[in-house]
Structure formats: C-alpha cells, structure tokens
Structure 1
C-alpha cells in the first residue's frame, strides 16, 4: 500500500484526492500540507480522510514516511518542493506547469536522476478518450505528412480571477494564459507532433487590468513538414477549444470529425471527397480500446502502475520540461519580436530562473491581491 502526501490544498488538490481515492486498494492518503494554517485540516475533514495535517510542507516530507507526493501549489514553488521530495526518496507528481524556467526544470530532472524515483508532470488531457483518439490516428500514419495544426486553447476568466495574490504576476505565476492555461494544449501538441524547430509569437493583455501578464497570445510553430498555429486565451467567450490536424491525406479534429478530399484530374476536390478513406479512419477509431480512467485519475493510475512495474509514466518530467521550453520560446519571441529556434540552449538568457521576470513587459500593475479566492 503506497503512502500518499499532498502539498497544497486549494481547488486542484480535489482532483488529486479523487484520483488517489479511485485506487484505494493500491494507495492511501496519509498526509496533507498547506502553508495557510488550518487549511490542510479542513481539506482532510472535507473528504473524510484519516490523514495528518501539516502547516509546513518540509515537515511533512521529513516526517510522514511517504512513497508519493502530489504538489498542487503555485508554479514558483514547484522546483524547491519537488527537489526536496525526490531527494527524500519520494516519487513526485507535480501540477502543471512544471516550473517557471528551464533551469528549474533541469534541476528537478537532476534530482530525479540522482534519487532513482519517478517524476511525473500533470498532463491530464492525455487521459481523455477524445484526445487519445487523435494520438492513435496520428500515430497510425494514415493521415500522411502533417501540413498544418490549429490549436485553440480558448478559455474565459473574469476580472476577479487575477485578484488572488499569486495570479497575474510574472514572479509568482510565472506567466499568463500561455503558461498556465495553454500548457495543456502545448503538451498535447508535443505529444502529437514532437518538438517544433522554430517559434514566433505576439502577446497582449486585452481585458484584465489587474494582471502584469498576457491574457492572449498567438504563436506560430514551424515543423519539418508544416506549421502549427496556437492561440492561448482567457478572453474567449464560450471557451470553444479545438484541435484541427490537416494531413496530406485527411483532416481530423477534436471535437471529433474527419474529412478527406480526393482530387479531380484538374486538381480541384471531388464533391464527395474520399469516402473510403474516411471510413477507414472511422473504423480505426472504433477499434481503439477506451480508457478505463480519465483525467487526473487516469494519470494517477498510470503513475501507480509505473511505480509497480518499474517503468516511466506516460507523462514524464522530460515531457513537462518540453512544454515549458515551448512556452519560454513563445515568451522570448513575443518579448523580443523575433523567431526563436529550438532547442533553447542553457546559454540563452531565457533559460535561467528570473530572466523571464527581468525581461517581461508589465501590461498592467497588480492593484488587488487577495489571500483567498472569492467564492
């Protein structure tokens, strides 16, 4: 029975608690920690957990005899907490984004290497059937070479969202919607296509006057055979999120749809397209085995299995770092008005902790700062 600890007991901790409770025959939540006095106790009581409560995460790491710890705190704290847990011999599941800088990500990976423990970064959308379907079809090769991918990471947040003390600041949150919302879609893009060769971008704050950070960015990523277009936003009403993948042979989309053209002798498309190819793709999708667990529960189940089987989890620390690298390239491209080649070397100023804060524009100055989010 694996012993589980959770650091940070805000809203996202609920998803972790629910995920571990789904595997009650394999693990037990024995400790919760939060720097706000009494908050860990309140969370334990809310879920009926027989778990020790700590106001000091370091004390929990030292004293609770843990096998796995979930880190559900603001991004600026991820590296120090993860390194402390790994060095204590504890497997780590850390919320996205992995850390605000590549330097911190690499320090976390170094701690994983010397500890021999697992480090997994939350990428719960890999554990959704609709998105696993895209991965399955792309991996089959049936689409041919990829020409274009359009990713809309479209969210909407009202003005009070950035009133919480750590949100909307480059130092504490590490960035705006590109880092903290689109990180999900960036991870999916990398999962589907791998690392791009080059990135350019533009950033803006269009609607949130209590945030230093961007609330909208548009990036173009160059791959060997095509382009990807990423919109990151917290200003899109309706939150209509979409991934559209255009291959040489066909197009697939999430929400799910498929289309395939067939050429007439003059190069224009046949009116009915290539129905047989569409049928082949739909059959491929229908034959895929659905996931047993979804979202955080799916990822937690995979991590527990990885520990048991001595393998890497589906979402590794390296995967988390790769997503942060693309975010860093988007920010550098937007700040400096240039094209940024990948991979980013350690000699690049934007690689280092604190450099993003030093170079980032303040779209607005933060005026309102609340300890607790409004309910």
Structure 2
C-alpha cells in the first residue's frame, strides 16, 4: 500500500484526492500539508480523510511521514523547491502543471529526479481523455500523411474576480497568464501529437482584465518541418469552445471528433464525395480502440501508481513537462521581444534562467486585490 501526501489544499487538490480514492487497494492518503496555518486540518475534514495527518510545513510532512508519493498542488513558483525537497528525500513526485516557471528550475527538478532514482510526473490529464487519445492514435497510424497545419484553440473565459486571488495575475507568483496556466494543457497535447516545433513567433495582449499584470490572450504560430501550427490561448472567449483541428496530406481530423478526406479531380479541385474509403479506414480505427479505464487526473494517477509498482517511467514524465514550459517560454520571448524564436532554447539564453521572464515581462496592468482565498 503506497503512502500518499498532498502539498497544497486549494481547488485542484480535490481532483488528486478523488484520483487516489479510485485506487483504494493500491494507495492511502496519509497526510496533507498547506503553508496557510490550519488549512490542512480544515481540508482533512472537508475531504473526508479522518485518518490523515495535517501539517502547516510541507518539509515536516516529508520528513516524518515515510511517504511513497507526494502530489504538489501549490502555486507554480513553489513547484521546483517542493519537488526537489521531496525527490531528495526519496519520495516520488506528481506535480501540477506548469512544471515550473523557468527552464532552469525544470532542469533542477530533473537533476533531482535523476540523482534520487525516483519518479517525477507532471500533470497532463488531457492525455487521459478518450477523445484526445483518439487523435493521438490516428496521427500515429500514419493515415493522415504528413501534417500540414494544426489549429489549437485553448479558449476559456474568466471574470475579473478570478485574478483577485493573491498569487494569480502576477508574473512572479503565477509565472505568466493564460499561455502558461491555461494553454499549458493544449501545448502539452500539441507536443504529444507532433513533437517539439522548430521555431515560434507570437503576440500577447491583456484585453479584458485590468486587475492583472499578465496576458489574458496570446496567439502563437509554431513552425514544424513540414507545416505550421497556430495556438490561441485565452481567458476572454465566451463559450469556452476548445478545439484541435489537424490537417494532414490525406485527411483532416478534429476534436470534437470529425474526419474529412478530400480527393483530387484531374484539374486539382476537390472531387465531390471525397475519399470515402480513407474516411472509413480512419473511422474503423477509431471504433476499434478500447476506451480508457480511468480518465483525467484519475487516469494519470493510476498510471503513476502503476509506474512506481512496475519500475517504469510514467506516460507524462518530467521531460514532457519541461518541453511544455520550453514552448511557453519561447512564446513569451517571441511576444516580449517581437521576434522569431528558434528551439531548443539553450542554457545561455537569458529566458532560460529563473527570474528572467519576470524581469523582461510587461505589466499590462497592476493587481488591484490580493485575496487569500478565492471567492466561492
């Protein structure tokens, strides 16, 4: 039975609690820690964990509880120090997205993982969704041919009070705006589907949130060897209609699910009816795939537990988390400096280092409130 600790008891911690509860014969939540005095004790009651211990100091929890795995559910600026402390104490780590605000911190976490021999996984719960796993399977099948264009809409909507929470809307504590903290999931999916791009350019804006330093909208163009991808990151989109559209040489697929395959007439225009045979092959592949047994955070937690048990790497590991942060960093550099940014970013690049993004970032506005707890 694996002993689980959770650091940070805000909103996302509930998803981790429910995820671990889905595997009662494999793990037990034995402790919660939160730096806000008394909060961990309150959440033990709220989460219905009467046998768990409460700590106001995460370091004390790590030192005393003989943990096998810890979930880190704190603001991004704390991820590196907490993960490194846990790994160096011999504890496996599952850390919420984004992995860390800088590549330097990501690499320090990876170094700790390597010297400890423990597991490091970064939350990428959308990999554990049937609709998105379907896209991955079709792309990997080769039926689409070479990829020409991908459109990713990470479209969310948040009102002004969203940025009143003390750490949100600041470059120092949150690490960025919607590009880092909302689109990180779609960026992970894009890398999962296509790999790392070669070059990025972007523009950033704060269109609707005058109580936040950070962007609430960005549009990036990513160059791949054979095509382009465009990514919209937003918390100003009414309807929150998120979409991924993948255009290949042979066919188009998308989430929400749709498949279309054109076929050329002798004059190059599309033939009426398209390539029905290819559409049927893709639909048959999709119909034949087995649904995931566990989804979202629950699916990722199940994979992490299995990885610990089997001595293998998790599906979403630290290097995957770093890759997403690298793309975000390149988007910010491109937007701040108004240039095209080539990947990979080297350790000599100023934006690689901790604190440099904060130093270069524009303040679109200044925060006007700093609440300890989010409004319910």
TM-score norm. by structure 2 comes to 0.99
SS at match of 1:6: strand
Query: Matches of 2:251 and 2:43 in 1, distance apart?
Result: 48
Matched, 1:32 2:32: yes
SS at match of 2:222: strand
Higher mean C-alpha deviation, range 39-48 or range 237-246: 39-48
Say how many residue pairs are matched.
Answer: 375
Matched, 1:8 2:8: yes
How far off is 1:340 after superposition? 0.2
Query: Matches of 1:225 and 1:308 in 2, distance apart?
Result: 40
How far off is 1:46 after superposition? 1.6
Alpha-carbon deviations, 1:330-371, whole Å to 9, x = none?
Answer: 000000000000000000000000000000000001121111
SS at match of 2:158: coil
Query: Matches of 2:43 and 2:325 in 1, distance apart?
Result: 30
Query: Matches of 2:21 and 2:44 in 1, distance apart?
Result: 13
How far off is 1:80 after superposition? 0.1
Matched, 1:304 2:319: no
Query: Matches of 2:86 and 2:231 in 1, distance apart?
Result: 34
Query: Matches of 1:187 and 1:203 in 2, distance apart?
Result: 20
- Identify unmatched segments of 5+ residues in structure 2: none
Specify the alignment match of 1:124 in structure 2: 125
Higher mean C-alpha deviation, range 162-171 or range 364-373: 364-373
TM-score norm. by structure 1 comes to 1.00
- 1:209-358 equivalences under 5 Å are 209-358=210-359
SS at match of 2:118: coil
Alpha-carbon deviations, 1:121-152, whole Å to 9, x = none?
Answer: 00000000000000000000000000000000
Runs of 4+ that moved beyond 6 A: none
Alpha-carbon deviations, 1:246-281, whole Å to 9, x = none?
Answer: 000000000000000010000000111111110100
Alpha-carbon deviations, 1:269-296, whole Å to 9, x = none?
Answer: 0111111110100000001111000000
- 1:134-153 equivalences under 5 Å are 134-153=135-154
How far off is 1:25 after superposition? 0.3
Query: Matches of 1:313 and 1:134 in 2, distance apart?
Result: 20
**Aligned-CA RMSD value:** 0.4
How far off is 1:47 after superposition? 2.2
SS at match of 2:12: helix
- 1:16-165 equivalences under 5 Å are 16-49=16-49, 50-165=51-166
SS at match of 2:272: coil
How far off is 1:200 after superposition? 0.1
Query: Matches of 1:306 and 1:320 in 2, distance apart?
Result: 17
Query: Matches of 1:374 and 1:280 in 2, distance apart?
Result: 49
How far off is 1:37 after superposition? 1.4
Matched, 1:183 2:191: no
Query: Matches of 1:318 and 1:210 in 2, distance apart?
Result: 34
How far off is 1:45 after superposition? 1.0
How far off is 1:198 after superposition? 0.1
Higher mean C-alpha deviation, range 29-38 or range 42-51: 42-51
